[in-house]
Amino acid sequence: MPPMASMIYGTAWKGAETGRLVYEAIKAGFRSIDTAAMARHYNEAGCGDGIRRAVHEGLVSRSDLYIQTKFSPHDDAFADTTRYPDISSQVDASVAQSLSRLQASDNPRDRYLDCLVLHSPYPRHEDTLVAWRALSAHVPEFIRSLGISNITHHELQGLLDSPNVNPPPAVVQNRFAASEHGWDAATRSLCASSKIAYQGFWTLTANQREWQTSDYVGAVAAGAGVSRAVAWYSLMIGMDIVVLNGTTNVDHMREDLAGLGRIVEWRATEEGEKVFEQCLAAMGSRTGTVHGS
Ligand SMILES: NC(=O)c1ccc[n+]([C@@H]2O[C@H](COP(=O)([O-])OP(=O)(O)OC[C@H]3O[C@@H](n4cnc5c(N)ncnc54)[C@H](OP(=O)(O)O)[C@@H]3O)[C@@H](O)[C@H]2O)c1
């Protein structure tokens, strides 16, 4: 499985444009894609179309990509209790649908997902465990790793402490924002000590003032010659947060990836690395430094 990139292309709220934007994202250089089976917010089938177009045109092969989708516990698609009488049958139906929609080519070897994320825990912990075990039955043949989203520190600890959680979560996908218990610092810390990749979403939308006005983001932007958005992304990555980038703008796709490259070059200079480390420390004291990685 290819490693999850430090910046993932996020496909929520792109509707009929999803296929084109996923294709453009791959063309621009993104290699990790996040979607969900939930039709209210995502167009998973469109995402698959974009992936297949890129593979068909030879831009990438399946093994170059990290493809992640979600099973959504409260999705209307699986609410019919006659067809899907319990959580396990809902999980199985959703996984089968995702595998078909996201299969990168006609080759049956391409029928797998790099990560399947449980979109949120259930109100009852026992139900979360039932869903987790149903997902686990597809690992490793069709799903390479599992994740969970919209989870509190307390719930994540409960999941890790439960018997038979095998495989354990490889990914946590949460909102990275001041309003989320101070940038979700406790959950990030637990992820670091448990070797779980922490993916942050709404990172621009929910942090406008922080990335647009703070001195430490401005210093990285000015030093490396990149936009404040890219400087913010680079600092997040410096804090071991995997960025979900939800742009609909092809110029932003290219500039964000190129900008991260420029920051690597800048950090290779003595002055650049010194400034970056100072700014990282400033961001850590603002948003919560994580221990345990
Ligand atoms: N697990 C969950 O429950 C959950 C919830 C929400 C989101 N997510 C995931 O996270 C992804 C990202 O979410 P999001 O789209 O709300 O968050 P976002 O990346 O914080 O916001 C994207 C917004 O920022 C703007 N933007 C401005 N400059 C940008 C730049 N240089 N690069 C990128 N964007 C720039 C974009 O406008 P332009 O389009 O004009 O660039 C867009 O309006 C989603 O697509 C989804 O995959 C998961």
Whether 118 and 262 map to the same domain: the answer is: no
Whether 44 and 99 map to the same domain: the answer is: yes
Helix (H) or strand (E) holding 243: strand 241-245
What is 109-169 written as a DSSP string? Answer: GG--BSEEEESS--SSHHHHHHHHHHHHTTTTTTBS-EEEES--HHHHHHHHHSTT--SPP
287, 85, 257: which is closest to 183 by C-alpha?
Answer: 287
Structural domain includes residue 292: no
Nearest ligand 1 atom, CA 230: 31
Among protein residues, the one with the nearest Cα to ligand 1's atom 4 is: 201
Structural domain includes residue 56: yes
Last residue of a domain, one of 143, 173, 202: 202
Cα separation of 177 and 83, whole Å?
Answer: 39
Whether 19 and 144 map to the same domain: the answer is: yes
Structural domain includes residue 91: yes
- Which pLDDT score is estimated for 293? 47
Taking only Cα atoms into account, the Rg of the chain, rounded to an integer number of angstroms, comes to 19
Most ligand 1 atoms within 8 A of CB, residue of 47, 71, 205 to mutate: 205
Whether 224 and 198 map to the same domain: the answer is: no
Structural domain includes residue 183: yes
- Which pLDDT score is estimated for 1? 62
Q: Which 3 state secondary structure label does DSSP give 29?
A: coil
Among protein residues, the one with the nearest Cα to ligand 1's atom 34 is: 247
Structural domain includes residue 1: no
Where residue 112 sits, what CATH number does that domain have? Answer: 3.20.20.100
Whether 129 and 221 map to the same domain: the answer is: no
What is 165-220 written as a DSSP string? Answer: --SPPSEEEEE-STTTHHHHHHHHHHHHHTT-EEEEESTTGGGHHHHHH-HHHHHH
State which residues form the domain around 281: 208-240+248-286
- Which pLDDT score is estimated for 79? 78
Whether 186 and 219 map to the same domain: the answer is: no
Structural domain includes residue 169: yes
Give the Å distance between the CA of 77 and the centre of ligand 1: 25
Whether 57 and 165 map to the same domain: the answer is: yes
Give the Å distance between the CA of 202 and the centre of ligand 1: 6
Domain total of the chain: 2
Owner of token pair 């001041």: 178
Whether 169 and 276 map to the same domain: the answer is: no
Cα separation of 208 and 94, whole Å?
Answer: 35
For residue 283, give the amino acid letter: M
Last residue of a domain, one of 141, 172, 202: 202
- Which pLDDT score is estimated for 291? 56
Q: Which 3 state secondary structure label does DSSP give 222?
A: helix
Give the rounded distance of the alpha carbon of 124 from its chain centre: 25
Whether 194 and 219 map to the same domain: the answer is: no
What is 32-72 written as a DSSP string? Answer: EEE--S-TTT--HHHHHHHHHHHHHTTS--GGG-EEEEEE-
Structural domain includes residue 61: yes
Whether 145 and 271 map to the same domain: the answer is: no
Structural domain includes residue 2: no
Last residue of a domain, one of 202, 231, 260: 202
Whether 107 and 154 map to the same domain: the answer is: yes
Whether 66 and 176 map to the same domain: the answer is: yes
Cα dist from 234 to 156, 221, 286, whole Å? 26, 10, 16
Cα separation of 241 and 54, whole Å?
Answer: 27
Could you list the pLDDT tens digit for every one of the 293 residues in the chain? 668 999 999 999 999 999 999 999 999 999 999 999 999 999 999 999 999 999 999 999 999 999 999 999 988 888 788 888 999 999 999 999 999 999 999 999 999 999 999 999 999 999 999 999 999 999 999 999 999 999 999 999 999 999 989 999 999 999 999 988 899 999 999 999 999 999 999 999 999 999 999 999 999 999 999 999 999 999 999 999 999 999 999 999 999 999 999 999 999 999 999 999 999 999 999 998 775 44
Cα separation of 94 and 96, whole Å?
Answer: 5
